[in-house]
Amino acid sequence: MQKITPCLWFDDNAEEAVRHYTSIFKSSKITQISRYPDTGREIHGRPAGSVMTVAFELNGHAFTALNGGPVFKFNESVSFQIECATQAEVDYYWEKLSAGGDESARQCGWLKDKFGVSWQVVPRVLPAMLSGPDRAKADRVMQALLQMTKLDIAALERAFAG
């Protein structure tokens, strides 16, 4: 059982974001939507009946999205890594998550989606390439990686092979 659940703070579009994410990740679902009550309106400032939180799962991992207002914004200090087995998976997640996002925030497999959330679309083989005992191979992979926006598994494998 998952004991830590990330909570994503949105201004007022949590439900839209969650519906977007659950349409992208195959094993995903919305598990609960709670709404702001009239009680406490002087504190939360939200209309009664508007969406407060959306509990959801992406590939079996629980998340919560909160409509908390414009107080906080996403930044790159937190991102979600997606491990991809194939180039087709890398391409799929890159295309779906980068659509409408911040084009200036794309580097080395990182992207920022249209809601401001940062993602890392990472080939499963990359960590082993970068951490292996042969530092020359790891250095070549790092050099190739630094030139990419969306990661290219074949190019990383060529760099690794020398």
pLDDT in tens, 12-65: 999 999 999 999 999 999 999 999 999 999 998 999 999 999 999 999 999 999
**Which structural domain, as residue segments, surrounds residue 22?**
7-67
63 and 90 in a common domain: no
Quick check: 14 and 54 in contact, CB under 8 A? yes
1 band by pLDDT with thresholds 50, 70 and 90:
confident
Q: How many domains does the chain have?
A: 2
- Whole-number percent of the chain with pLDDT over 70: 100
CATH of the domain at 140: 3.10.180.10
Instruction: Please state, in angstroms and as integers, the Cα–Cα distance from residue 118 to each residue in 3, 94, 137, 158, following that order.
Output: 23, 12, 28, 28
Q: Is 74 within a domain?
A: no
| 154 inside domain | yes
Within 10 angstroms of residue 107's Cβ, the number of other Cβ atoms is 13
- Rounded to two decimals, the pTM is 0.93
In a domain, 2, yes or no: no
pLDDT confidence of residue 144: 98
Please write the tens of the pLDDT for every residue from 85-110.
999 999 999 999 999 999 999 999 99
Q: Which residues touch 112 (CB under 8 Å, ≥6 apart)?
A: 74, 76, 101, 102, 105, 106, 118, 119
Residue 133 lies in a domain: yes
Do 53 and 92 fall within a single domain? no
Residue 152 tokens read as 């290219």
Residue 2: the pLDDT is 87
CA distance 93 to 99: 10
The answer to whether residue 153 sits within a structural domain is yes
- Tens of pLDDT, residues 118-149: 999 999 999 999 998 999 999 999 999 999 99
Residue 86 covered by a domain:
yes
Are 49 and 12 part of one and the same domain?
yes
CATH number where 28 lies = 3.30.720.100
Same domain? 118 vs 53: no
